[in-house]
Structure 1
């Protein structure tokens, strides 16, 4: 109904945000630029917080599109995973082969791959949507992995 009323071609508000509807106003554009700068200049872990519906997921999706080619991204949309499940999810995103239930070997492979990527002059960034829902041990694992690359 409101599509016709406002002359819209498609619904602008969806559960999953579409980047073509990104609005850079209200400091969103500046926040996106600051995040890109922080990521490309090895600033470490950065947290973005805001109210529900303020555009945090949209910022993640914009980063996936806007980061330079030398940055490999790991996007975790549902981080309510255990420590081992987080490691498996990251490995899957980085296309690291793994055997289920062998997390100690996976951690070694993951660390080796991150060092390999870093030695090649590339970066890896983990974009974690809803990180506040992560179990503390999974969050600690992310922190430890971030120390490895720096």
Structure 2
């Protein structure tokens, strides 16, 4: 989705609203970032000319990601709220989002979503992960592996026995 920049810059206070603007997972292309959008992202917001060639973009959206737990590797989905607030004061601010006099709204929304994301996700806060030896999911119960003690610390175990 693109919006003409000149339309905004003509008049101070000019605004272009985005109501229920839909962005497909293919448009936003987050797959290369290790996550996948589950569905279309709907954005409500507006571009506003604040004067002196300053443009503000504010928007709200919610998106659902298909994720993989960093500890137990289970796949799960989670919904995230997203607030996007950008102020463009200088021509350099626009470089990543402007081509042929058109503002690439898709790139701004993608950028906003990426800023909301974490580096890793857990299926639940108390996820126990997988056994380092046998790979058993410890959320389903303990595994049958014997607990090994680091040989360098075995002396301490002897002290506890005495």
TM over 0.5: no
- TM bin (shorter chain): under 0.3
- Greater length-normalized contact order (CA 8 Å, ≥ 6 residues apart): 1
- Answer 1 or 2: which has greater helix percent: 1
Q: Normalising by the residue count of structure 1, what TM-score does the alignment of the two structures yield?
A: 0.22
- Answer 1 or 2: which has greater strand percent: 2
**Larger radius of gyration between Structure 1 and Structure 2:** 2
